Copies of this chain bind each other. A is one copy, B any other.
């Protein structure tokens, strides 16, 4: 057997391991996609790959690391949209795309909460948003802050979208709002009291509209129109 000779190559044809990281991660991802993050457990993955729970710990340090690894490649499943040339429109289009993609893979939210962005193939969205913001006259610092603000907003929207959907699926659980308002609150909370009867119709919420509005506010911070990087003290121009 040639196994001994091939041992020095870290990942050669010889010495097939019973387990390999790709299978572990792919299995974890499948479980999450089919049954949600809550269904993922080390024991479950071990069972499905035909091994024992502790064998997995040779490939990942703990469950959180496995969770983070399931992120890789997810965004590549979605086609990259054509973006408009106008930087403001481009920024909004990229942000709406980010929202729309994540709405289709809601489990990703739970994983993103654990750590940073680990899917390299999603970085183009940050690139486009930051680049658009700078093209609109923001400094690099402002552009990065703008990206964060947009991300926080998109994330928050998606979390409560999922939360509302969960609650709607369990209608016997008591809804607290606006039912909890009583007559006595009218003096303290006049607006809410007045709006309560037509609360349903007031729930219309268009993410693209909100995004356009907040982007307007964020871009209005620009010191001058267009071309910003020059104004930034110590800014290095990106090569392009």
Contacts and interface: CB of A to CB of B under 8 A. Distances in A.
B114 A163 contact: yes
A93 to B, nearest CB: 17
Contact of A194 (B126, B160, B173, B237): B237
A197 to B, nearest CB: 8
Nearest to A167: B115
Interface in A109-166: 113-118, 120, 123-124, 126-127, 130-131, 134, 140-141, 144-145, 148-149, 151-157, 159-160, 163
A176 B214 contact: no
A152 B141 contact: no
A240 interface: yes
Copies in the complex: 2
A220 interface: yes
Nearest to A170: B64
Contacts of A204: 141, 145
A79 interface: no
A5 interface: no
A144 B240 contact: no
